[in-house]
């Protein structure tokens, strides 16, 4: 299975421009042989939590989501996209997986919110990473800060995920996340981790690029620079199985012991 990762600068609240950018990336990814394109956190609306709350009409969100499903269908490629959603008076950050036929396959609400703006605007989810079959692999979905907690990747792996897709909005100064932490999460839970970030500056927030894919042995197999880039990585389910045979972390867990250790 081949992944494409979109790294680009979003135009805050310019939905038409952002949807056009996603469609162009989807076309290029498909032409490059990708089965699935992973886009950054909140890319269709831009990463600007307070402005989204204050200026984005939530009644438009179903239409935006449908436009993204239509992109997947027109381009014939799976699409992992991230949008805000509002229900019962609460805003949340989500990620959704569309099939190449434009059907919605999975939906997930971000559990770990980062920084004062996110915690002010959004309500965290509580469900584990969504896991779904796609193109011969089991794919999990998480968002940004979620991956910085080992429980997230481990929960995805225990639910059968062979790869974890992570749209993100990582700011400058945290290069250690894609360079060190992403390979560690992949190694310790023995799955691929694909981490797609923005580049440029959005609403005064400088985003660091550095999108990355790590394999189940903890090796970085793709890593972007700072600027806009379409990154590709090939995922092999047999490599997941090889890692799990080599050192059986998941099999050798002792959850009955851990429960007595506290939290």
Is 86 annotated in the active site? no
Three-state helix/strand/coil letters over 69-121: HHHHHHHCCEEEEEEEEEECCEEEEEEEEECCCCCEEEEEECCCCCHHHHHHH
Q: What is the pLDDT of residue 263?
A: 67
The structure tokens 């090939």 sit at 234
Is 144 annotated in the active site? yes
- Say which residues have a Cβ less than 8 Å from residue 166's Cβ, sequence separation at least 6: 38, 141, 142, 143, 144, 146, 147, 193, 194, 195, 196
Spot the catalytic one: 41, 118, 148, 202: 41
**In the chain, how many domains are there?**
1
Query: The CATH number of the domain where 203 resides is what?
Result: 3.60.110.10
Spot the catalytic one: 9, 144, 148, 202: 144
Q: What is the pLDDT of residue 262?
A: 83
Q: What is the pLDDT of residue 238?
A: 98
Strand partners for 108: 95
Instruction: State the 10-residue block means of pLDDT for the chain, 263 residues long.
Output: 98 98 98 98 98 97 98 98 96 98 98 97 98 97 98 98 98 97 98 98 96 98 98 98 97 94 81
Strand partners for 242: none
Exposure class string for 126-164: b at 16+ Cβ within 10 A, else e: eebbbbbebeebbbbbbbbbbbbeeebbbbbbeeebbbb
Question: How far apart (Å, rounded) are the C-alpha atoms in residues 145 and 159?
Answer: 20
- Specify whether the CB–CB gap between 11 and 46 falls below 8 A: yes
- Supply the range of the domain harboring residue 179: 2-261
- DSSP label at residue 42: T
What is the CA angle 20-112-221, rounded to 5? 60
Spot the catalytic one: 110, 118, 148, 202: 110
pTM for this predicted structure? 0.97
């Amino acid at each position: 299975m081949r992944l494409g990762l979109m790294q680009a600068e979003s135009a805050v609240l310019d939905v038409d421009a952002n949807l056009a950018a996603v469609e162009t990336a989807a076309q290029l990814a498909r032409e490059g042989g990708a089965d699935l394109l992973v886009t950054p956190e909140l890319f269709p609306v831009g990463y600007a939590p307070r402005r989204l709350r204050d200026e984005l009409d939530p009644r438009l969100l179903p239409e935006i989501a449908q436009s993204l499903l239509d992109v997947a269908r027109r381009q014939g490629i799976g699409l992992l996209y991230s949008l805000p959603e509002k229900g019962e008076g609460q805003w949340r950050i989500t990620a959704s997986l569309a099939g190449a036929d434009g059907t919605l396959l999975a939906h997930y609400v971000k559990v770990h919110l980062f920084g004062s703006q996110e915690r002010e605007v959004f309500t965290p989810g509580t469900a584990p990473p969504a896991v779904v079959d796609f193109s011969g692999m089991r794919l999990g979905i998480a968002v940004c800060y979620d991956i910085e907690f080992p429980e997230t990747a481990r929960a995805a792996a225990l639910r059968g995920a062979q790869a974890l897709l992570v749209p993100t909005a990582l700011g400058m100064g945290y290069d250690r996340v894609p360079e060190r932490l992403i390979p560690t999460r992949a190694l310790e839970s023995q799955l691929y981790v694909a981490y797609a970030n923005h580049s440029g500056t959005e609403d005064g927030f400088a985003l660091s690029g550095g999108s990355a894919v790590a394999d189940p042995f903890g090796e970085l197999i793709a890593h972007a620079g700072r600027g806009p880039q379409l990154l590709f990585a090939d995922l092999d389910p047999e490599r997941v199985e090889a890692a799990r045979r080599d050192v059986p972390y998941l099999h050798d867990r002792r959850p009955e012991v851990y429960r007595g250790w506290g939290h």
